[in-house]
A and B are shown apart, each in its own frame.
Chain A
């Protein structure tokens, strides 16, 4: 059974640009969540999607957005990139909520220069 797949694995972007990250969940999983991991702030929740609807959102500015498609694949977008957006972005998928176990992808390492 394939795990959670995130693409790309690494990205280097310039300040002011925008970026789109992709996440394909485990087959049959309908909930997808995104997390940002930085050395200073640790792991922080960005948002969660279920059946193409954003159900939960973390405390991030509106530059961070996401969506989920009918096949449960999800994308997150960050516009007007700042240096502080450099982080490991992790996607997690889980079966029908509530509170089921979350399985994480390998992450996308974003570097903003």
Chain B
């Protein structure tokens, strides 16, 4: 049973460029969340997708956008990259929560460096 997979593993981009990161959820999971983790910080919630729609969004600018496909995989797009966007981008999947407590499974992340 494959866990959450992300691609690419590492990426180097220049300021002003655009980037697309990809995520495939764990088998049986239909919800995908994206997090940004800067060095020395905890992950920060970007947004969550469920049924191909953005269900909840964190405090990130519109330069950050996403998409979920019918097979539940997801993309994170970042436009007009800034140096401060350099971080580890984590994708997490989960089944639709049936109660208050549920686990999100994280992928290995994509390390983005903006120069």
A and B form one complex: no
By a beta-carbon cutoff of 8 Å, the part of chain A in contact with chain B is: none
By a beta-carbon cutoff of 8 Å, the part of chain B in contact with chain A is: none
